[in-house]
Structure 1
Amino acid sequence: MGGDVRVKICGLRTAEDVAAVAAAGAAYAGFNFFARSPRFVTVEEARGLSLLAPEGLCKVALVVDAEDAALDAIVAGVPLDMLQLHGHETPERVAEIKARYGLPVMKVIGVAGEADLACLTEYSLVADQLLIDAKPPKDAVLPGGNGLAFEWRLLVGRKWLRPWMLAGGLNAGNVAEAVRLTGARQVDVASGVESAPGVKDAARIAEFVRAAQG
């Protein structure tokens, strides 16, 4: 562990959220453009929040199987540093999006068992980063942010061509163990720092970042 663990807080919706993330020392601020999520923000809302982010805080747009028209509006309207693809985007689609917008792309891979790790090598050839999350249940409305974890031991000793981030059921109580076990140098959290779905808690954000960084 150590202070070099980079933290992403996803699903920010208010100016207070952005201030709390910046104050806690997180590296990434995530804005969720998936309409069915309790963390959803419009392009206009995300633009206002992004403009509040201090220099050095990486602003990430989370999208799910977004068409070009939707991505065009997001990229044109919001000052961003990265796109996070949280749907069923193929490696070809990832490469297409990266080329079209000229922004770094993070591809999310849902994991329930070892077989789900097989595609990570292929995606690492086209994405700038990988985010390894718990695979949602078959009947889940949301592709992520469900507060579910997977078997972290699946990642022990594994290496990929790109930087990767660990997500899925993390909170201040378990993130240190997750980092120790997997060797993750980056972690992502949404529901684990909330007092209710979509409602961030500044104290929990600060506690999570402290725990992640040891």
Structure 2
Amino acid sequence: MTLVKICGLKTPEDAHVAIQAGADYLGCVFFPPSPRNVDAMTAAEVFDMIGDADVERVGLFVDPSDDELMAVLNHARLDVIQLHGKESPTRVEEVRQTFALPVMKALAIETKEDVIAAKAYDGVADLLLFDAKPPKGATRPGGNAIAFDWNLLKGTDWSVPWMLAGGLTVANVKDAVAQSGAKAVDVSSGVEAEKGVKSPELIQAFLDAVKE
């Protein structure tokens, strides 16, 4: 079974749709340049929809300070901290130790060399997320609706679980899983009606496509 993370949620209603459709992870973005950015109080409302469901709460941050992390954790419960910036393996370990929460490290992939470089985080982070490198001049490290060559990951060996992200849609997610060997996928822009606005129909269709 392939696990699914729906990221960039901004409303309790979208969270409800994702949960009912069978999502395994819900993600909120705490990065002001993103059209999916929310504050801690909004995230708390989104995550409150989970209730007793077996769904993980993920907070996405980009090169956050400890104070920025604490400001969110004071209001919103997180199960996983996602670091989506240029955090070093040392910083990943610091966050794990300081906040006593699992850390997912996002890594930008374009070439085989990027996959090799990602090994520095294997066993340091609790989970890895492989995303496409952002285009030149992009203001965000992820959520740019760009895919990379999924075959770069096929047959690779990791000591921790990993997710595939980057340009995934209802139309291509089956091929992405088949080519990469991913056991988990992360989607944000691929289930939006417009930038930053989730589509309940696309969320449902994406989950249906993965779970078939």
- Fold equivalence (TM over 0.5): yes
Q: CA deviation at 1:32?
A: 0.2
Distance across 2 between alignment mates of 1:61 and 1:191: 17
Q: Does 1:64 align with 2:62?
A: yes
Task: Show the counterpart of 1:51.
Answer: 48
Q: Does 1:113 align with 2:111?
A: yes
Q: 1:140 aligns with which of 138, 141, 154?
A: 138
Q: Number of paired residues?
A: 211
Task: Show the counterpart of 2:39.
Answer: 42
**Gap runs ≥5 in structure 1:** none
| Structure 1 residues 130-149: Cα deviation after superposition (integer angstroms, max 9, x where no partner) | 00000101210111000000
**Residue aligned with 2:135, SS:** coil
**Residue aligned with 1:140, SS:** coil
- Of 41-50 and 143-152, more deviation after overlay is shown by 41-50
Residue 22 of structure 1 contacts residue 54 of structure 1 at CA under 8 Å; is this kept in 2? no
Letter in 2 for 1:23: Q
> Which gives a bigger RCO, structure 1 or 2 (Cα 8 Å, sep 6+)?
1
Following TM superposition, the consecutive aligned residue runs of length 4 or more in structure 1 with deviations greater than 2 angstroms are none
- Of 12-21 and 114-123, more deviation after overlay is shown by 114-123
| Structure 1 residues 67-107: Cα deviation after superposition (integer angstroms, max 9, x where no partner) | 11100111121111000000000000000000000111000
**Residue aligned with 2:106, SS:** strand
Q: CA deviation at 1:119?
A: 2.3
Q: 1:74 aligns with which of 72, 75, 86?
A: 72
- Of 90-99 and 66-75, more deviation after overlay is shown by 66-75
TM-score normalised per structure 1: 0.96
Distance across 1 between alignment mates of 2:51 and 2:7: 16
- Of 126-135 and 204-213, more deviation after overlay is shown by 204-213
Q: CA deviation at 1:179?
A: 0.6
Distance across 2 between alignment mates of 1:213 and 1:111: 25
**Residue aligned with 2:74, SS:** helix
Identity across aligned pairs (percent)? 45
Residue 108 of structure 1 contacts residue 130 of structure 1 at CA under 8 Å; is this kept in 2? yes
- Of 115-124 and 62-71, more deviation after overlay is shown by 115-124
Distance across 2 between alignment mates of 1:7 and 1:111: 20
**Residue aligned with 2:144, SS:** coil
CA-based RMSD of the aligned residues comes to: 0.8
TM-score normalised per structure 2: 0.97
**Residue aligned with 2:138, SS:** coil
Task: Show the counterpart of 2:202.
Answer: 204
Task: Show the counterpart of 1:17.
Answer: 14
**Gap runs ≥5 in structure 2:** none
Residue 11 of structure 1 contacts residue 32 of structure 1 at CA under 8 Å; is this kept in 2? yes
Task: Show the counterpart of 1:84.
Answer: 82
Q: CA deviation at 1:54?
A: 3.0
Letter in 2 for 1:38: P
**Residue aligned with 1:132, SS:** strand
